[in-house]
């Protein structure tokens, strides 16, 4: 009794035409989208930071007549908050 084993070797298949170009374009588009999302998020954070600083300045002005040192401390804190990254 004898047995035979047939070993199959896969045939090389070439990449479809334009696959590299399509992949490069898709990657470029995804990177561009990522940059847009990051920029939008940074603008949103900056806008929130500016609004919070403005709110703190309004709060500080309430104390200007009674406690000028406290007011100046709060205004300085608002300035620092505006500049933080």
How far is the C-alpha of 52 from the C-alpha of 42, rounded, in Å? 15
pLDDT grade for 1, boundaries at 50, 70 and 90: low
Q: What is the pLDDT of residues 17-72, one digit of tens each?
A: 899 999 999 999 999 999 999 999 999 999 999 999 999 999 999 999 999 999 99
- pLDDT computed for residue 71 by the predictor: 96
Name which of 53, 61, 55 is nearest 78 in CA terms. 53
C-beta atoms surrounding 12 within 10 Å: 5
Cα distances from 34 to residues 28, 38, 41, 48, in angstroms, run 10, 6, 11, 21
Segments making up each domain of the chain, as ranges: 20-83
pLDDT at 3 > cutoff 90:
no
Percentage of the chain beyond pLDDT 90 is 76
Name which of 68, 65, 72, 44 is nearest 80 in CA terms. 72
């Amino acid at each position: 009794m004898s047995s035979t084993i047939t070993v199959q070797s896969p045939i090389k298949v070439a990449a479809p035409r334009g696959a590299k170009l399509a992949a490069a374009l898709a990657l470029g588009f995804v990177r561009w989208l990522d940059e847009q999302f990051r920029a939008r998020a940074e603008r949103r954070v900056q806008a929130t930071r500016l609004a919070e600083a403005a709110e703190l300045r309004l709060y500080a002005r309430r104390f200007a007549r009674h406690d000028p040192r406290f007011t100046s401390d709060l205004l300085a804190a608002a300035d620092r908050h505006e500049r933080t990254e």
